[in-house]
Amino acid sequence: MSTFEQSIYDLIVETSTNLPADVRRAVAAAKAAEDQATRAGLSLATIAQNIEMAECNVSPICQDTGMPTFIVHTPVGANQIAMKRDIREAVARATKDGKLRTNSVDSLTGSNSGDNLGPGTPVIHFEQWERDDVEVKLILKGGGCENKNIQYSLPCELEGLGKAGRDLDGIRKCILHAVYQAQGQGCSAGFIGVGIGGDRTTGYELAKHQLFRPVDDVNPIPELRQLEEYVLDKANQLGIGTMGFGGNVTLLGCKVGANNRLPASFFVSVAYNCWAFRRQGVILDGSSHEIKEWVYERGQSVPMRASETGNASPDAKPAAATAGKRREFVLTAPLSEEDVRQLRVGDVVILNGDMHTGRDALHKYLMDHDSPVDLNGGVIYHCGPVMLKDDAGWHVKAAGPTTSIREEPYQGDIIRKFGIRAVIGKGGMGAKTLKALQEHGAVYLNAVGGAAQYYAECIKNVNGVDLMEFGIPEAMWHLKVEGFAAIVTMDAHGNSLHADVEKDSKAKLEQFKDPVFA
């Protein structure tokens, strides 16, 4: 193994398991701005605990480690072919060690490569610079927030904001709309990078490059600095809040860059990133390739109670289970209709018993096939965990929720077909699922997106697995859980917190319709 490969491996582990200090400060400020008795405050407390657990356990902060994207600056004459080979080897090793989830899927066959290697993965951009050192930056951007990226072509008409023209005010409207359309599905509160101009490809590239800027830096271009400050202020008046539960903090950072464009084209590209803002970088000695310094200040938590091996204390009380004055129900799966009908939006559910993971591949499969296990009264968890296997069997290394709306075409039919009583995910679901919940007597529980260590701690045993041909994230894992806490956001009485927050935030968005920047 080369020193360069080891340094890249160390960078991957650091990026996946330890949020940088600037991101931690932004999350801490958000936590301070929310009433701890609210749903948003409750979620931020869980997020803060999860950040500490990930650092302590040296395990992924969020189970979705995205498509690893590297930006490498090298001296003239550096062997980029060898560097690319070493980066790929480091990615494969980090995947084998459970620091990255197996996320590279063949677009034609659906087959998972199992090592995060394949055509186009990982993403590696090389650039030369006039320095002797090597700089490597890495961002791990999960699929949930990647799906909330959006690109606008000006002029255009925007919901709630009206016409957006080819000027700074039109750009302003696009950015606010981008935050609005993400709602809680991108694991808000989040960060956005904005690229103005370019073509469709370079616009998105510029937007993603903005995410490498420090959270607390200042844009050197006065017009863009003013725009960033305006968006950060006004986005936090939309009332979307953490996880889309409503609240005071919806956006943690806004960074904007601009490129020249074609006369015929005017693109505004927005790259959305969740609160689990995993990006880090290293400066390597140009000769030895040893790490000289970290690009971003490394985060450090107040130490948690821990065993001598560094694992989080098993008796640490889950933050989401310590809500103040609110209705709380402790239920054991499989669930009855009576269990579910008593629940209302806003209730906290502490779940024990059996749970089954199910994502895109499983939902499609269940539409035309029987379930491998009896799901009557069962709980489906929208989750693609990070799993490792040893002589004792399978172990869960990270297990937070995935975005649920992708399963909207299937979920209602599957609830009715198999008698499912609870669905757990993040970001909420649509009208078709809400109707099925009401008719059948089922409930949607919103877990805290990105809290992969907190939820992994709640999983006490892996009872088995089916459909491994879909790959580890998409397989159907059968789990035994204790103290698994989530919030009812869609109940069996036709109520949806997500629909309410979206309606309220749209009304608030409309107040920013009038021109601001002349």
pLDDT at res. 362: 97
Categorise residue 264: left if φ over 0, alpha if ψ from -120 to 50, beta otherwise: alpha
* CA–CA separation, 73 and 80 (whole Å): 10
Domains of the chain: 1-141+286-316 (no CATH), 143-273 (no CATH), 321-501 (3.20.130.10)
| Alpha helix (H) residue ranges in 21-79 | 21-33, 39-57
- 454 vs 121: CA distance, rounded Å: 29
What pLDDT score does 319 carry?
46
H-only helix segments in 291-347: 337-341
Q: Are 341 and 384 in contact (CB under 8 A)?
A: no
Residues of the chain above pLDDT 70, percent: 95
Q: How many CA atoms lie within 13 A of 59 on its CB side?
A: 28
> Is the pLDDT score of 304 beyond 80?
no
pLDDT for 310 equals: 36
pLDDT of 303 above 80: no
What residues contact 110, with CB distance under 8 A and at least 6 apart?
361, 470
Q: Which two tokens stand for residue 87?
A: 């980066």
Predicted confidence (pLDDT) at residue 308 exceeds the cutoff of 50: no
* Backbone φ and ψ of 476, nearest 5°: -100, 105
Confidence tier at 321 by pLDDT (50, 70, 90): very low
Q: State pLDDT tens for residues 414-458.
A: 999 999 999 999 999 999 999 999 999 999 999 999 999 999 999
Is the pLDDT at 323 greater than 50, yes or no?
no
CA distance 431 to 433: 6
Tokens of 12: 């991957």
pLDDT tens-digit readout, 62-83: 999 999 999 999 999 999 999 9
Torsions phi, psi of 319, nearest 5?
-60, -40
Instruction: Give residues with Cβ within 8 angstroms of 287, minimum separation 6.
Output: none
Amino acid type, 106: D
Contact 429, 408 (CB under 8 A): yes
- Whether residue 48 is predicted with pLDDT greater than 90 in this model: the reply is yes
Tell me the pLDDT tens digit for each residue of 467-478.
999 999 999 999
Instruction: Answer whether the bond into residue 222 is a cis peptide, omega within 30°.
Output: no
Q: Identify the bridge partners of residue 214 per DSSP, sorted by sequence position.
A: none
Q: Judge contact between 37 and 313, C-beta under 8 A.
A: no
Residue 236: name the closest of 191, 291, 282, 171 by CA: 191
Are residues 438 and 343 in contact, defined by beta-carbon separation less than 8 angstroms?
no
Record the tokens describing residue 505, joined without a space: 């935030």
Cβ atoms within 10 A of the Cβ of 444, count? 28
SS (H, E, C) 96-143: HCCCCCCCCECCCCCCECCCCCECCECEEEEEECCCCCEEEEEEECCH
CB 211 within 8 A of CB 279: yes
Consecutive H or E run containing 329? strand 328-333
pLDDT of 305 above 60: no
Q: What is the enclosing helix (H) or strand (E) of 353?
A: strand 348-357
- Which residues have a Cβ under 8 Å from the Cβ of 280 and sit 6 or more positions away? 11, 14, 15, 18, 20, 137, 138, 294, 295, 296, 298
SS3 content of the chain, % helix, strand, coil (to 5): 35, 25, 40
Which residue's structure tokens are 């360069």? 4
For 45, phi then psi, to 5°, come to: -65, -40
302 pLDDT tier (thresholds 50, 70, 90): low
Rounded CA-CA distance 473/101 in Å is: 8
**pLDDT value at residue 518:** 66
pLDDT of residue 314: 37
Using 50, 70 and 90 to split pLDDT, how confident is the model at 325? low
Residue-wise burial string across 203-231, b where 16 or more C-beta atoms lie within 10 A, e elsewhere: bbbbbbbbbbbebeeebeeeebebbbebb
Q: Tell me, what's the pLDDT at 326?
A: 78
φ, ψ of residue 25 to 5 degrees: the values are -65, -40
